[in-house]
């Protein structure tokens, strides 16, 4: 393109050739339609139920049933969101749903972590068998759980003590251990459990197993009483001589044996089971945080245009207006990082160059905590009460600097990626 063309284009006299500008942030009509559909559900069904289920601290089954009835909570929908070639559909859906309410949003979307593990590590047969069971049916929906964390293995998944031993005579795996913090733990139809098959290999000796519904030896432990996200069930899961068929090892035994042999002989092997799942889900988790932040920002903006002190609307004070300007800018910046990571993930099979997935989750999580805190400030005393939703949004936002890799761990991942150094 010549300099004259550049100037003409800048002046809006010529339209750029589509072939020269393949990158666009303009959403397709399909993406807008799905966004609006989810927004309608978030506004009409999720929001009105948010306070009740936060107070009850229980899984909002009636809302999940509504989501299943309209087809939002289903394998087919998730697959449709997932195959979008731009990678943006899944974050867009998550942002809208969590804009409605994060606790209920997690009750609906918590299943997807187990689904991501099965999809990422299972064989085609396992994907076909187990993923539909994670959702149940339209009339009788189910949820799924992904169990990696343990009391002594949170940020450091290499500390996982749950073991899986192969009983060759019965072609069964026997699992023993205690899982902590599992979203949907104990109430799920399908549990995906990360266990060690060779403790000496640390995290490279991990494998993922499906525990089918009502398997003996897989029981819910203590239910966690939480600061936020209270409509989402979180609990320990106990595995006591829990036997599952050989076919429940995700990826199959041949692939596991080959991987373990590579590790033992010092050859490169693919990254460990839990890490693969977290890497793939980070931009989507970031989108959830963006949804919470946006909800708090919008609420605070409207409030500031209504509330009067000193004879004028509080938004007419620069202190308030500039805070709102910063909130809007930070939320948009977080969304752009989420969209970039989602797009890159799609283009490159969830492999990132500079930990862009981690960057998106880190930024979005920290923006959500900051923006919801600012929203409380803008509402003053009202913001601090349970009569106004920003208090709940602030409690909900905090988890986004903790789960799926804390902010410190994301910084570690980014620092290692950009420096190529062993940073501890």
* Residue 84 φ then ψ, to 5°: -50, 120
Does the footprint of ligand FAD cover residue 53 (CB under 6 A)?
no
Structural tokens at position 418: 């950009």
For residue 353, give the nearest of 362, 343, 363 by alpha carbon.
343
Catalytic residue among 125, 298, 404, 408: 404
Q: Is 404 a catalytic residue?
A: yes
Smallest gap from Cβ 244 to ligand FAD, in A, equals 18
Q: Binding ligand FAD by CB under 6 A: which of 275, 406, 416, 417?
A: 406
Q: Which of 325, 354, 349, 323 is nearest to 337 (CA)?
A: 354
Q: Please tell me whether residue 408 binds ligand FAD under the rule CB under 6 A.
A: yes
DSSP state of 17: P
Cα–Cα distance, 363 to 401 (Å, whole number)? 9
* Binding-site size, ligand FAD (CB under 6 A): 21
Q: What is the DSSP letter of 400?
A: G
Closer of 109 and 182 to ligand FAD (Cβ): 182
Phi, psi of 243 (to 5 degrees): -100, 130
Mapped onto helix, strand or coil, the DSSP state of residue 413 is helix
- Using CB atoms within 10 A of its CB, is residue 253 exposed (0-12), middle (13-18) or buried (19+)? middle
Binding mask 178-207 for ligand FAD (x = CB under 6 A): ---xxx------------------------
Query: Contacting ligand FAD (CB under 6 A), which of 127, 333, 336, 402?
Result: 402
Q: CB of residue 238 vs ligand FAD: minimum separation in angstroms? A: 15
Q: Does 161 bind ligand FAD (CB under 6 A)?
A: no
The encoded tokens of residue 150 equal 């343990």
Number of other residues whose CB lies within 10 A of the CB of residue 412: 17
Measured from the CB of residue 350, what is the shortest distance to ligand FAD in angstroms?
A: 19
Cβ(53)–Cβ(228) below 8 Å = no
Residue 415 makes contact with ligand FAD by CB under 6 A: no
Of all helices (H) and strands (E), which one includes residue 70?
none
Residue 270 as a binder of ligand FAD (CB under 6 A): the answer is no
Residue 361's H or E segment, with its range, is helix 356-379
Taking the complex as a whole, the smallest distance from the CB of residue 224 to ligand FAD amounts, in Å, to 7
Which residue in the set 147, 192, 344, 375 belongs to the binding site for ligand FAD (CB under 6 A)?
A: 147
- Residue 186 CB, nearest approach to ligand FAD (Å): 12
Based on the shown chain and the rule CB under 6 A, indicate whether residue 423 belongs to the binding site for ligand FAD: no
State which residue, 81 or 181, has the beta carbon closest to ligand FAD: 181
The conformational region for residue 202 under phi > 0 = left, psi -120 to 50 = alpha, else beta, is left
Residues 102-131 touching ligand FAD, rule: CB under 6 A, are 113
Q: What is the CA radius of gyration of the chain?
A: 23
Tell me whether residue 288 or residue 304 sits nearer to ligand FAD (CB atom). Answer: 288
Complex with ligand FAD: residue 52 or 408, whichever CB lies closer: 408
What is the DSSP code (8-state) at residue 423?
A: -
Residues ≥6 apart with Cβ < 8 Å to 272 = 157, 203, 204, 206
142 binds ligand FAD (CB under 6 A): no
Q: Which stretch binds ligand FAD (CB under 6 A): 129-137, 215-223, 315-323, 398-406?
A: 398-406
Taking Cα atoms as reference points, which of 365, 392, 364, 391 lies closest to residue 378?
391
Contacting residue, 35, 161, 223, 226, with ligand FAD by CB under 6 A: 226
Residues 233-252 binding ligand FAD (CB under 6 A) are 234
Rounded distance between C-alpha atoms, residue 110 and residue 144, angstroms: 7
Residue of closest CB approach to ligand FAD: 154
For position 409 contacting ligand FAD by CB under 6 A, the verdict is: yes
The site string for ligand FAD over 345-384 (x = CB under 6 A, - otherwise) reads ----------------------------------------
Does 309 bind ligand FAD (CB under 6 A)? Our answer is: no
Q: How far is the CB of 176 from ligand FAD (least distance, A)?
A: 17
**CB atoms near residue 143 (< 10 Å):** 24
Question: In 3D, which of 342, 202, 211 has the Cα closest to residue 272?
Answer: 202
Catalytic residues: 404
Positions touching ligand FAD (CB under 6 A) are: 113, 146-149, 154-155, 181-183, 226, 229, 234, 399, 402-404, 406, 408-409, 412
């Amino acid at each position: 393109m010549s300099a004259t063309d550049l100037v003409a284009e800048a002046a809006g006299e010529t339209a750029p050739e589509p072939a020269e500008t393949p990158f666009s942030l303009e959403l397709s009509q399909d993406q807008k339609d799905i966004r609006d559909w989810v927004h309608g559900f978030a506004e009409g069904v999720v929001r009105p139920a948010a306070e009740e289920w936060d107070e009850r601290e229980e899984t909002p089954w009636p809302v999940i049933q509504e989501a299943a009835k309209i087809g939002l909570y289903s394998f087919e929908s998730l697959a449709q969101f997932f195959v979008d070639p731009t990678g943006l559909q899944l974050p867009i859906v998550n942002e809208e749903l969590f804009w409605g309410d994060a606790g209920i949003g997690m009750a609906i979307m918590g299943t997807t972590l187990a689904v991501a593990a099965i999809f990422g590590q299972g064989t085609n047969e396992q994907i076909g068998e187990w993923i539909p069971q994670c959702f149940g049916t339209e009339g009788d929906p189910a949820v799924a759980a992904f169990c990696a964390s343990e009391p002594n293995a949170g940020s450091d998944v290499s500390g996982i003590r749950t073991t899986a031993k192969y009983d060759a005579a019965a072609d069964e795996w026997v699992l023993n251990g205690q899982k902590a913090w599992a979203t949907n733990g104990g109430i799920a139809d399908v549990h995906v459990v990360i266990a060690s098959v060779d403790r000496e290999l640390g995290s490279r000796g991990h494998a993922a197993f499906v525990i089918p519904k009502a398997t003996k030896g897989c029981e819910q432990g203590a239910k966690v009483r939480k600061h936020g996200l209270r409509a989402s069930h979180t609990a320990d899961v106990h595995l006591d001589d829990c036997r599952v068929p050989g076919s429940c090892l995700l990826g199959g035994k041949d692939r596991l044996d080959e991987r373990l042999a590579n590790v033992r002989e010092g050859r490169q092997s693919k990254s460990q089971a839990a890490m693969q799942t977290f890497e793939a889900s980070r931009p989507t988790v970031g989108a959830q945080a963006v949804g919470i932040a946006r909800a708090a920002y919008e609420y605070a903006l409207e409030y500031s245009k209504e509330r009067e002190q000193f004879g004028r609307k509080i938004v007419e004070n620069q202190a308030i207006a500039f805070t709102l300007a910063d909130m809007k800018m930070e939320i948009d910046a977080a969304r752009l990082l989420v969209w970039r990571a989602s797009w890159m993930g799609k283009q490159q099979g969830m492999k990132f160059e500079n930990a862009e997935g981690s960057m998106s989750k880190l930024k979005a999580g920290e923006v959500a905590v900051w923006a919801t805190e600012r929203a409380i400030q803008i509402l003053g005393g009202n913001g601090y009460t349970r009569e106004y939703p920003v208090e709940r949004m602030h409690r909900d936002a905090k988890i986004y600097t903790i789960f799926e890799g804390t902010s410190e761990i994301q910084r570690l991942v980014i620092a290692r990626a950009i420096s190529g150094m062993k940073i501890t």
